[in-house]
Amino acid sequence: MGIMFVVLRPGSGKADLRRVLRRAVGAGCRGRVLADAENPTVAVSGETSKLEPSGFQVLPGVREVLAVGRLAPQAPAGRRPAPAVVEVAGGKVRIGGDRFTVIAGPCVVESEKSLLRIARGVKKAGAHLLRGGAFKPRTSPYCFQGLGEAGLKALAAARAETGLPIVTEALDQRSLELVYEYADVIQIGARNMQNYALLKEAGRLAKPIMLKRGISATIDEWLMSAEYLLAEGNSRVILCERGIRTFSGHTRNTLDLNAVCVARGLSRLPVIVDPSHGTGVASAVVPMARAAAALPSHGIMVEVHDRPGEALCDGHQALRPAEFADLMRDLAAMSRVCGYRL
Ligand code: PEP
Ligand code: MN
C-alpha cells in the first residue's frame, strides 16, 4: 500500500482530474480528489510501487507527481492552501513564510550564570530564539548528560530576562512532560527522529515541535516522521536539517543542503538548518549558515558559547558571541537579495 500525489496546475478543469482518476483506476489503484488543496490534487493509493510517475506526468494539466512513501503525508506542498507558518510563544515569533528565523545558544545549559551571559549576547546580536539542552543525547554515557529540570529552570530565567522564547530537547517520554512545561519549541533530536512512541506523544501536545533529521535518515523517512506529529493533530512542526553521515571525513557530518530544497518542495512545513552539528567545525559554521540563508531556508539554529574551550559539549563547533554578531550582520545584508525578512 502506497500513496502518490498528482498535483495539477491551477485552473485545471474537471476533465483533467477525470483523466488522472481514470489512469489511477486503470492501474488498479484508487484516486481521490483532495478538497482543501491549493492546486487541484489527486491522492492515488494502492500498489503505487508499480505505477510510473511519468504515466501521470504526461497527462494534460499535471504539474508534478509526488511519490512520498508508504503512507499518506499531510506534509506535501499543494494539498493545503499555503506553506505553514509556525507560531511560537503566542505569535511572538513566527517561523516560515518569508521570514528567516535565527535560533542561537549553547549546546547544553551548563549553569544559569553562563546561560544568561550567552543569552544576553545572542539577544543583543538579534537572535529570535534561545537554544540550550537540559537533557542531552550524548554518544558516551560518561559525558555530561545535562542539568535536567535545573537546566529548564535556567532557560526559563533566561527567557524572563531576554524575552527570547526557548528551544530545548526532549529525550524520552518522561522528559517530554517536563520540557513541555518550560519550552516554547520542543526539539526532537536526530537520534530520536524515528522514536515513533515519542513522536506520537509529542504530536498530542499544544507546542511547536522542531524535528531534526536523523543521522542516516532519508528525506522520505524524515517527512514521514513529521507525519507522525501531524497525524496526532500537532500542525506546528518545523523540520531541521542537521547533517548526515557520509564518507566525507573532514567534518563531523555533511550538511545536506540539497535536502532542504527537496523538503521545501515536498512539504509545506518550514525547514531550518543547523550548520553547527551539520559541520562540527566552528570555522565552517558561518559559511554554511550563509549558504542556508542563500537557498533560502526558513532559518538556522547555531551553537554559541562565550568560552568554547571550556564548553561541556560541542565547544569545537561553537561560535563566539562576536562571530555570531558578525553572522547576523551578514544575514541582514543578504536579506534583500535573497528575499527573506530577518
Ligand atoms: C542538539 O541540537 O543539541 C543536538 C543534540 O542535535 P542533533 O540531535 O541534531 O544531534
Ligand atoms: Mn550540540
Query: What are the tens digits of pLDDT across the range 222-238?
Result: 999 999 999 888 999 99
Weakest-pLDDT range from 51-55, 203-207, 323-327:
51-55
Residue 196 has pLDDT above 70, yes or no: yes
Which of 73 and 87 is assigned the larger pLDDT? 87
Looking at residue 53, its pLDDT comes to 85
Looking at residue 193, its pLDDT comes to 98
Q: Which residues pair with 94 in a beta bridge?
A: 87
Weakest-pLDDT range from 55-59, 133-137, 143-147:
55-59
Pocket residues: Cβ below 6 A from ligand 1? 107, 133, 137, 169, 189-191, 212, 242, 277
Looking at residue 36, its pLDDT comes to 60
Rounded distance from Cα 136 to ligand 1 centre (Å): 8
Which residue from 107, 139, 144, 186 has its CB within 8 A of the most atoms of ligand 1, so it is best to mutate? 107
- 2-67 shares its CATH topology with 85-338: no
Closest ligand to 137 CA? 1
327, 310 Cβ separation under 8 angstroms: no
Radius of gyration for the chain, computed over Cα atoms and rounded to the nearest angstrom: 21
Give the residue whose CA is nearest to atom 10 of ligand 1: 190
Closest ligand to 191 CA? 1
CA proximity to 104, closest of 166, 52, 177:
166
Residue 288 has pLDDT above 60, yes or no: yes
Kindly indicate the confidence band of residue 70, based on its pLDDT and cuts at 50, 70 and 90: very low
Residue 289 has pLDDT above 90, yes or no: yes
**Domain chopping of the chain, boundaries:** 2-67, 85-338
Instruction: Indicate the length of the chain as a whole number.
Output: 342
Confidence (pTM): 0.82
Looking at residue 69, its pLDDT comes to 47
Which residue from 210, 212, 272 has its CB within 8 A of the most atoms of ligand 1, so it is best to mutate? 212
Backbone angles phi, psi at 73, to 5 degrees: -80, 140
310, 112 Cβ separation under 8 angstroms: no
Average pLDDT over residues 256-262: 97
Mean residue pLDDT of the chain comes to 93
* C-alpha to C-alpha distance for 132 and 146, rounded to whole angstroms: 10
Task: Kindly state which CATH superfamily the domain 85-338 is placed in.
Answer: Aldolase class I (3.20.20.70)
**Distance in Å from the first CA to the final CA of the chain:** 43
Average pLDDT over residues 263-285: 96
Looking at residue 173, its pLDDT comes to 96
C-alpha cell, 281: 567545525
Rounded distance from Cα 323 to ligand 2 centre (Å): 17
Tell me which architecture the domain covering 2-67 has in CATH: 2-Layer Sandwich (3.30)
Contacts of 245 (CB under 8 A, 6+ apart): 215, 216, 253, 254
Average pLDDT over residues 195-200: 98
Which of 87 and 50 is assigned the larger pLDDT? 87
- The runs of H, that is alpha helices, within the chain are 14-26, 53-57, 112-125, 149-162, 173-182, 196-203, 219-231, 257-266, 275-279, 282-294, 321-338
* C-alpha to C-alpha distance for 86 and 184, rounded to whole angstroms: 12
Looking at residue 251, its pLDDT comes to 96
CA proximity to 331, closest of 124, 95, 102:
102
Rounded distance from Cα 317 to ligand 2 centre (Å): 8
Looking at residue 332, its pLDDT comes to 98
Backbone angles phi, psi at 215, to 5 degrees: -60, -35
Rounded distance from Cα 29 to ligand 2 centre (Å): 45
184, 129 Cβ separation under 8 angstroms: yes
Closest ligand to 133 CA? 1
